[in-house]
Amino acid sequence: MKNIDDYKNKKILVVGAGKSGINVAKLLKKLGADVWLNDAKPLAENVKSELLNNDVNVIEAKQSAELLNLEDFDLVVKNPGIFYDNELIQEAMNQGIPVTVEVEIATEVSEAPIIGVTGSNGKTTVSTMINDILNVDRKNGHSYVAGNIGVTASTVTPSATKEDDIVLELSSFMLQGITELHPHIAVLNNVFSNHLDYHKTRENYVNAKMRITENQTENDYFVVNFDNPEWVELSKRGKAKVVPFSYDAVSKEGAYVFDDQIFFKDEKVMDVKDIKVPGQQNVQNVLAAIAVAKIMNKSNDAIKKALGSFGGVRHRVQYVLSYMDRDFYNDSKATDIEATQVALRSFNDNVVLIAGGLDRGYTFEKLEDDFKNHVKAIVLFGETKQLLSQTSSNAGVKSIKVVDNLEQAVNEAWSMSDEGDVILLSPANASWDQYDTFEQRGDEFIKFVEQKTGRKEVTK
């Protein structure tokens, strides 16, 4: 861990006691700061005891501007999911108190080089693929994956050495709060229109994503999906060397597909048929991972060894099990329209879709063609079920069921399915109307499928 004095004797308020808040609070104590950790909900007794034993002050109270009166704070570290229009955050900024996020502090102490991955969809898969490749036949050090993937950066960076690598999955919420974070390699997998309730406009959302490259120099690399003209233009914003990847072989200066084979520049790396996870989106994910691997001088054998056995990431078009010639897939991570479009295009016209969730104020016309081409029946639940029912009807889906919860949805989907069908949970919505996280929603889906079929989830 780099020894830095930036936080020594500073009074720091950490807002939000999730995993990132708890771990950054402990890291800041190691760096000599006086730390207060606030959460609106009471902390578990064991967590609270550990924090107090580490001399972290715990404040269980509403996240109101009044908390800033407790001390003359030098810095506020907010949970990435807390909106910037939160009254505490607004008042801190009004008072000129800097506001940052956990990943910014975590990377400041890292001796290991950082590979940052962002995108509206696929960033967890790409991050995992890169990490798997970097650990194949490795002689020195280790590659670690952290960030938005569920392992906080501040639990990894303090112990990583110069011999290691850290692959960070970076959400727009995280990137919005960074100022100095500097990945040696940055990846932009794609950009759609997500989280507009948080960022307010698409322009703000795109600008947040592009912060991944703002601190890069000519000695760094920016790996960008060239299959969309907008993303090609975005690649020109930074100073780093641009390394493209393209399913449509728009550019052959990086990773691309030609004649069902994957190349990096003029070198064949592997065959598309050797990719084990379904869909064009996963070929694009592979291309991004290969581009990074080749920059890192990994051999084709190492790439093929890692990707040839890669079975997917939990909750992301995850194969669950088969029963009576039906295949069940869990795509609970599909919290937006584009992710569900990608999932549906991975299959033919035999999908019994389960969808619905938090109403964020948008409508679903963009899904009509995909419903028409891929969905034979649909079961809907959550706040958006009536909106999706109308879209399904407009698309000509003949079998539409509206239910109250996910357990009912699994039972109805089974009743509506035939041999050879795919039963797919791909909600096109966030989970927060009925579940705390998309992971919880996906786990519940798997549980209900296991109960219905009497079989267990297939794991590696």
Q: Which amino acid is at 55?
A: D
Average pLDDT of the residues in 82-111: 97
pLDDT for the residue numbered 319: 87
Instruction: Give the DSSP letter of residue 65.
Output: G
* pLDDT confidence bin for 313, thresholds 50/70/90: confident
Cβ proximity of 410 and 380 under 8 Å: no
- For 32, the token pair is 């000599």
Q: What is the pLDDT of residue 285?
A: 95
**What's the pLDDT tens digit per position in 398-431?**
999 999 999 999 999 999 999 999 999 999 999 9
- The pLDDT of residue 346 is 87
Domain covering 106-307: architecture: 3-Layer(aba) Sandwich (3.40)
* Predicted pLDDT at 314: 86
State how far the alpha carbon of 36 is from the alpha carbons of 28, 55, 68, in Å.
10, 9, 11
pLDDT of res. 150: 81
- When pLDDT is averaged across residues 210-216 and rounded to a whole number, the result is 98
Q: Is 222 left (phi over 0), alpha (psi -120 to 50) or beta?
A: beta
Q: What pLDDT does 197 receive?
A: 84
Mean pLDDT confidence for 216-222? 98
| Residues linked to residue 59 through DSSP beta bridges, in sequence order | 38
CATH number for 11-100: choose from 3.40.190.10, 3.40.50.720, 3.30.565.10, 3.10.450.50: 3.40.50.720
Span 364-389, pLDDT tens digits: 999 999 999 999 999 999 999 999 99
Q: Which residue would you say has higher pLDDT here, 85 or 348? A: 85
Residue list, annotated binding site:
119-125
Residue 250's identity, in one-letter code, is: V
Residue 425 corresponds to which tokens in the numbers above? 């949970």
pLDDT at 98: 98
Say what percent of the chain tops pLDDT 70: 100
Q: Given pLDDT bands bounded at 50, 70 and 90, which one contains residue 460?
A: low
pLDDT given for residue 386 in this prediction: 97
Tell me the pairing of strands 34-39 and 11-15.
Answer: parallel
Mean pLDDT over residues 214-239, rounded?
97
Binding site for ATP: residue ranges? 119-125
Return the CATH fold of 318-453: Protein-Tyrosine Phosphatase; Chain A (3.90.190)
- pLDDT band with cut points at 50, 70 and 90 for residue 348: confident
> Hey, where are the domains in the chain?
11-100, 106-307, 318-453
Name which residue leads in pLDDT, 309 or 265: 265
C-alpha dihedral, 368 to 371 to 377 to 380, nearest 10°: -60
Cα first-last separation, the chain: 34
pLDDT for position 295: 98
**What value does the mean pLDDT of the chain take?**
95
pLDDT at 327 over 90: yes
pTM of the model: 0.81
